[in-house]
């Protein structure tokens, strides 16, 4: 999915919601454990209940690879089931020397056919470039993350004045552009969006941390919105684990509607 197609889906559906499929075998409703593939059945029900309310799905790869071959198969079936009008994100946080990154890119872009993959920038350009070589695919680079430990490095001030996460964004603009490069920016520090938009005024931002982690959608949008919206705001636990009974999908839909309606008001302002 390219930039224009993504923006079109946001305008058509009146939402910029991304739903994280952090599907944990220990947290899904117990009745699903009787199924042949409980994780896929859980994901399938969530997708059926929310596909008209979001523009993206983000499977967290750790929850699948932890289950070995069965988990990878659940992931394959999930990505094939997601409607083609939804943007897909492999939340894998990969990034290694060039040859290794090339293999990671082939895994998620060729075998699983994700639209995008999250990538760690710490090893620099040659660890990111292999992902950017794939046409019509996206790199989502970790910049200012929502976890507490993000402050250990990301907010350190460099000698020339930039904070480290600002330098990551500034430098990476030499590697890609707003057509193939996004950034992860956590909702728990909404004040950073102003400086990020100064550096990357048109780039899409993947925004975790709204909902269960305490981030505010309204505060994110104050400085994060662009003319093309420019945000994919992720919610995972607040939607998919809102209920653990046989009504889990119905409750998930209700939670997604709450967010979509708030987003629609923002879009139509």
> Catalytic site residues?
93
* CA 152 to chain centroid: 22
Q: How far lies 266's CA from each of 14, 18, 21, 52, 230, in Å?
A: 9, 16, 25, 18, 13
Q: What is the dihedral of CA 178, 183, 187, 190, to 10 degrees?
A: -70
Checking 215-222 for CB contacts under 8 A at 24+ apart, the result is 215/146, 215/186, 215/187, 215/188, 215/190, 216/187, 216/190, 217/187, 217/259, 217/262, 217/263, 217/266, 218/262, 218/266, 219/187, 219/190, 220/187, 220/190, 220/193, 221/266, 222/190, 222/193
Q: How far lies 98's CA from each of 62, 123, 124, in Å?
A: 22, 10, 10
Please provide the DSSP assignment of 78-111 as one string: HHHHS-TTSEEEEEEEE--SHHHHHHHHIIIIII
Which helix (DSSP H) or strand (DSSP E) does residue 142 occupy? strand 138-144
CA distance 203 to 168: 14
Straight-line distance from the first to the last Cα atom of the chain, in angstroms, rounded to the nearest whole number: 26
Give the SS3 label for residue 42. helix
């Amino acid at each position: 999915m390219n930039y224009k197609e993504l923006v079109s889906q946001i305008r058509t559906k009146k939402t910029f919601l991304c739903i994280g499929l952090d599907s944990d075998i220990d947290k899904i409703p117990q009745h699903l454990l009787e199924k042949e593939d409980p994780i896929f059945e859980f994901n399938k029900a969530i997708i059926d209940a929310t596909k008209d309310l979001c523009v993206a799905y983000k499977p967290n790869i750790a929850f699948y690879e932890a289950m070995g071959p069965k988990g990878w198969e659940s992931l394959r079936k999930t990505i094939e089931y997601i409607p083609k009008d939804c943007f897909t994100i492999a939340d894998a946080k990969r990034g290694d020397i060039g040859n290794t990154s090339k293999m990671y890119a082939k895994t998620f872009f060729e075998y699983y056919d994700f639209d995008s993959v999250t990538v760690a920038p710490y090893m620099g350009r040659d660890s990111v470039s292999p992902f950017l070589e794939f046409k019509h695919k996206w790199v989502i680079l970790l910049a200012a993350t929502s976890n507490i430990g993000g402050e250990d490095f990301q907010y350190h001030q460099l000698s020339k004045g930039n904070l480290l996460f600002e330098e990551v964004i500034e430098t990476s603009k030499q590697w890609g552009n707003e057509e193939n490069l996004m950034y992860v920016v956590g909702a728990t520090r909404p004040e950073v969006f102003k400086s990020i938009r100064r550096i990357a005024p048109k780039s899409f931002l993947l925004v975790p941390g709204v909902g269960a982690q305490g981030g505010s959608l309204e505060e994110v949008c104050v400085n994060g919105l662009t003319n093309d919206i420019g945000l994919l705001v992720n919610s995972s636990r607040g939607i998919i684990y809102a209920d653990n009974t046989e009504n889990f999908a119905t409750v998930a839909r209700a939670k997604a509607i709450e967010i979509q309606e708030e987003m629609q008001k923002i879009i139509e302002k």
